Structure 1
Amino acid sequence: MTQATSASSPLRITAGTRDAGQRVDRFIADAIGTLSRSRVKTLIEEGRLTAQGRPITEPADPVRAGATYVLDLPPPAPATPQAQSIPFPILYEDDDLIVLDKPAGLVVHPAPGNPDGTLVNALLAHVGPGFTGIGAERRPGIVHRLDKDTSGVMVVAKTQLANDKLTTAFATRDLERAYLAVVWGVPSPGSGEIEGAIGRDRRDRKRMAVLPSGGKPALTRYRILRAWNTRLSLVECRLATGRTHQIRVHLSAQGHPVVGDPLYLRRVPAAARGLPAPLRGQLLDFPRQALHAASLGFTHPRTGEKLSFHAELPPDMAALIDAIDQNPPQD
């Protein structure tokens, strides 16, 4: 029988005979009942679980009957994100919304592993104490997101009206969005559509994948803006749907992963072979996915005016393209 003491941290859980053999993350989550399995998995990977004094760092480790597991729970984070002075470029602002150029490396919303230092924290500091917020909370309306290491244009709601209308616009795709990506190889044909349902990769839950069955329908329209022989290309992508990692997943599935992508570029691509050493190193060592949300157009939620915004390539991507131009790869 499982026995758990629910006092303050650390939490002690003793495994019974029926618990033996199951994954330890599932066992701990079920025993506690108030933490998700993914949260427990993160705590284990952070080194917060021991059994009989021995650290447990693998969430899939089997449970041993009679063992007492001790989980060191961190103190709870504040229920409301705190304002933090973090600079970010603003492209446009009025009483209803903010359009910004999100830097690469900035997480949009607090989450386990990134409790603060996010765009939400920065927005709270920017709008100040007089900000009324969305709904019952004093928070900005995050109506869409960019991955941590994707740069570019975002719009954030400051009022409930803007939040509701922008959320609907993104849900119905009643707007224009264009992304720029430096990819390995050259897609063929030079423009077209990539279609394939996207869901969790069944072999790696951190990744998304194009699935033969299940998943959510996804469609990406692309066109090549520049090509360097058959080795590299600059591609513009427009989303007809908005799935997690959609552009990165679709391009990778076509054999043209985004340069620097940490999730979908797991081995040295064939296009990198034979490149001059300095350029090859710059491409393979690029520290993030070379993906940028270049433009965003939408109807203003209050005035009905058509708005369009553009964010120039960030310095790191511009420097990468310049390096390719200076030493263009040969086939």
Structure 2
Amino acid sequence: MNFVEIRVPSALCPVRIDQYLATLKEPEISRSYAAKLLKEERILLNGKPAKASTKLKAGDVLSLDLPAPVALDVEPEDIPLDIIYEDQDVLIVNKPKGMVVHPAAGHAQGTLVNAVMYHCGSELSSINGVMRPGIVHRIDMNTTGLLVVCKNDQAHKSLAAQLKVHSITRRYVAIVIGNLREDEGTVDAPLGRSKKDRKKQAIDELNGRPAVTHYHVLERFGGAYTLVQCTLETGRTHQIRVHMASIGHPLLGDEVYGPKKCPFDLEGQCLHAQVLGFIHPRTGEYVEFSSPYPAYFEELLTKLRNKYNS
């Protein structure tokens, strides 16, 4: 165990406990990790179990009972990776549809982490002692496209800081249901866990975290479907899926936030992480990578063009 006591400075007050903890450099704690510690009552505020929503005041004392880092119990697996770029600091991978990013209940094997561990060996960051070596951000199992994996803690800290200030370029392409009225627009709606279904995300104006998605129409297919480019200003769980559904245009194939039945034989939502750009942690220069449409996406576009635009 690692016990840490912190006296809150006046400069940052008032501020929520989870937000304050995420600003610390030592110990380094993400908001998600802070939420876990709070749930387990490992964080005390002035000697009493703390709640994430509590606003801190100058002079408050936080006592943190940090568990020892959990040994990673994940086996490396020789799974082929579509590597777009690699150097001593980062690995850019083009994730296929159906692959889970990191191990979880029901997905202990066959994940991107299993594959990356085999490819990189011990060259992976270990920030927070979590069960996700090298993973700074993730995309859903049935979303394809680009992910950056960090090979050391310095790279991880740099990329995490860029994510925090929303400076990383992340552009997706999606096929949505219906015909968008405007050629472009922005959905600015905070997201949080759904109170009706804990497995889903929902717009939560009161307690949700800020979420902004910019969309731009690339191609229309009659009045039935639209190909759009979505640029993330923030990166919340299921953000594009929830935001597009909220304006009446859920992603084609998304049975969670859209219709339960799909007229095409699809495996989940039509969503592809096409462009990823960031400041390289070692060189300080901006780098950008792109990924072509996956085969299923191209085939579907051909079908839609033949049916609606021929």
Cross-structure match for 1:281: 263
Per the TM alignment, residue 140 of structure 1 is displaced from its structure 2 partner at its CA by 3.3
- Tell me the alpha carbon deviations over residues 86-123 of structure 1, each in whole angstroms, 9 at most, x when there is no partner: 11200000011100101111101111111121101100
Cross-structure match for 1:131: 123
Q: What aligned pairs does 1:93-108 form with structure 2 within 5 A after superposition?
A: 93-108=86-101
Q: Which runs of 4+ in 1 moved over 4 A?
A: 135-139
Q: State yes or no: 1:291 paired with 2:271.
A: yes
Q: State yes or no: 1:83 paired with 2:70.
A: no
TM-score (norm 2): 0.73
Which whole-Å CA distance do the structure 1 matches of 2:167 and 2:253 have between them? 31
Per the TM alignment, residue 131 of structure 1 is displaced from its structure 2 partner at its CA by 3.0
Change (3 A) 1:132 1:86: closer
Which whole-Å CA distance do the structure 2 matches of 1:230 and 1:92 have between them? 39
Cross-structure match for 2:62: none
1:326 aligned residue (272, 288, 306): 306
Asked whether the 8 Å contact 1:201–1:208 carries over to 2, the reply is: yes
Partner of 2:242: helix, strand, or coil? helix
Which whole-Å CA distance do the structure 2 matches of 1:289 and 1:220 have between them? 17
- Tell me the alpha carbon deviations over residues 293-326 of structure 1, each in whole angstroms, 9 at most, x when there is no partner: 0001111100112111000010011100011111
1:184 aligned residue (171, 177, 185): 177
- Tell me the alpha carbon deviations over residues 159-214 of structure 1, each in whole angstroms, 9 at most, x when there is no partner: 11101101111111112110000000122221010111111222222111112432
Per the TM alignment, residue 136 of structure 1 is displaced from its structure 2 partner at its CA by 8.7
Q: What aligned pairs does 1:166-185 form with structure 2 within 5 A after superposition?
A: 166-185=159-178
Q: State yes or no: 1:205 paired with 2:198.
A: yes
1:301 aligned residue (281, 285, 301): 281
Q: State yes or no: 1:248 paired with 2:241.
A: yes
Which whole-Å CA distance do the structure 2 matches of 1:151 and 1:206 have between them? 20
Partner of 2:200: helix, strand, or coil? strand
Per the TM alignment, residue 132 of structure 1 is displaced from its structure 2 partner at its CA by 6.2
Per the TM alignment, residue 135 of structure 1 is displaced from its structure 2 partner at its CA by 5.2
Which whole-Å CA distance do the structure 1 matches of 2:217 and 2:199 have between them? 29
Asked whether the 8 Å contact 1:124–1:139 carries over to 2, the reply is: no
2:140 aligned residue (147, 163, 170): 147
1:260 aligned residue (249, 253, 265): 253
Partner of 1:281: helix, strand, or coil? coil
Which whole-Å CA distance do the structure 2 matches of 1:234 and 1:174 have between them? 25
Which whole-Å CA distance do the structure 1 matches of 2:177 and 2:124 have between them? 46
Unaligned runs of 5+ in 2: 1-38, 41-69
Partner of 2:141: helix, strand, or coil? coil
Partner of 1:166: helix, strand, or coil? helix
Q: Partner letter of residue 193 of structure 2?
A: R
Which whole-Å CA distance do the structure 1 matches of 2:72 and 2:118 have between them? 17
Partner of 2:219: helix, strand, or coil? strand
How much identity, in percent, do the aligned residues show? 39
Change (3 A) 1:184 1:316: same
Q: What aligned pairs does 1:147-166 form with structure 2 within 5 A after superposition?
A: 147-166=140-159
Per the TM alignment, residue 329 of structure 1 is displaced from its structure 2 partner at its CA by 7.0
Which whole-Å CA distance do the structure 2 matches of 1:160 and 1:132 have between them? 8
Which whole-Å CA distance do the structure 1 matches of 2:95 and 2:111 have between them? 11
Which whole-Å CA distance do the structure 1 matches of 2:124 and 2:297 have between them? 37
Q: State yes or no: 1:314 paired with 2:306.
A: no
- Tell me the alpha carbon deviations over residues 201-253 of structure 1, each in whole angstroms, 9 at most, x when there is no partner: 22222111112432112111011000112211000001111111000000001
Coordinate RMSD, CA, aligned? 2.3
Partner of 1:238: helix, strand, or coil? strand
TM-score (norm 1): 0.69
Which whole-Å CA distance do the structure 1 matches of 2:105 and 2:260 have between them? 29
Which whole-Å CA distance do the structure 2 matches of 1:132 and 1:178 have between them? 25
Which whole-Å CA distance do the structure 2 matches of 1:164 and 1:105 have between them? 28
Which whole-Å CA distance do the structure 1 matches of 2:284 and 2:128 have between them? 26
Cross-structure match for 1:25: none
